[in-house]
Amino acid sequence: MRLFLALDFPGSIKQKLEQNINILRADIPKGVKWVETENLHVTFRFLGESDPIILDDLNSQIENVTKNYHRFSITFSNIEVVPNFYRPRIIWYNMIDETGISQKVFHDVEMRLVNFGFKKETRPFKLHTTLGRVKYVKKLDWEAILKKVKPFHETIICKELTLFKSQLTSSGPIYSIVKKYNFKQTNIK
């Protein structure tokens, strides 16, 4: 099964994100595969194809990390076209964690995954929410398009890390929750 770890959102946040995706879609009608509203999340760590037999041990490893960290908040920042306007591949919201907890959680999860036999992540950790994957587009005035998007600086309280299974289909991926790993409670609600 194909697995990844993510920070999930409440439905109300996903609906607000969908409004900005629709604004972008109006100016970029072709060439971008937009993320379905129900699939919006903060990417944390892609695990890839994994044997279901490892799930109990994997769950134990991740729980041993999350139980050591308090809940934390992350804030939506600006929309970025990655890597740049000239070679667009992904359109995403940059996310900010002023506490630095997400980076520590990622580091600890990464160490456990590598010790568990997963390949080490080579890309730097970057909190983000993918809105769309660019397949092809003609030359666009990205700055003008991005200015049309409504300001979105919502803050999310991260109460848990979620393990998702991703089933690829011809109409797009279908995500299902495998397990949620709770962070320690704090006075943040």
Q: Write the pLDDT tens digit of every residue in 109-151.
A: 999 999 989 999 998 999 999 999 999 887 899 999 999 998 8
Report in angstroms the alpha-carbon separations of 74 from 21, 100, 144, 170.
20, 10, 27, 33
Q: Is residue 187 in a domain?
A: no
Output the pLDDT for position 185: 85
Which residues form the domain of 158? Answer: 2-182
Query: Any catalytic annotation for residue 153?
Result: no
CATH code: domain of residue 49 = 3.90.1140.10
Q: Is residue 189 in a domain?
A: no
Instruction: Give percent of the chain above pLDDT 70.
Output: 98
Domain presence at residue 168: yes
Q: Domain count for the chain, please give it.
A: 1
Angle 69-73-78 (CA atoms, 0-180°, nearest 5)?
A: 135
What's the predicted TM-score (pTM) here?
A: 0.91
Per residue in 29-44, pLDDT tens? 889 999 999 999 998 9
CA distance 68 to 75: 22
Out of 70, 107, 128, 153, pick the active-site residue.
Answer: 128
Catalytic pick among 41, 70, 107, 153: 41
Taking the C-alpha atoms of 89, 95, 96 and 102 in order, what is their torsion angle to the nearest 10 degrees? -100
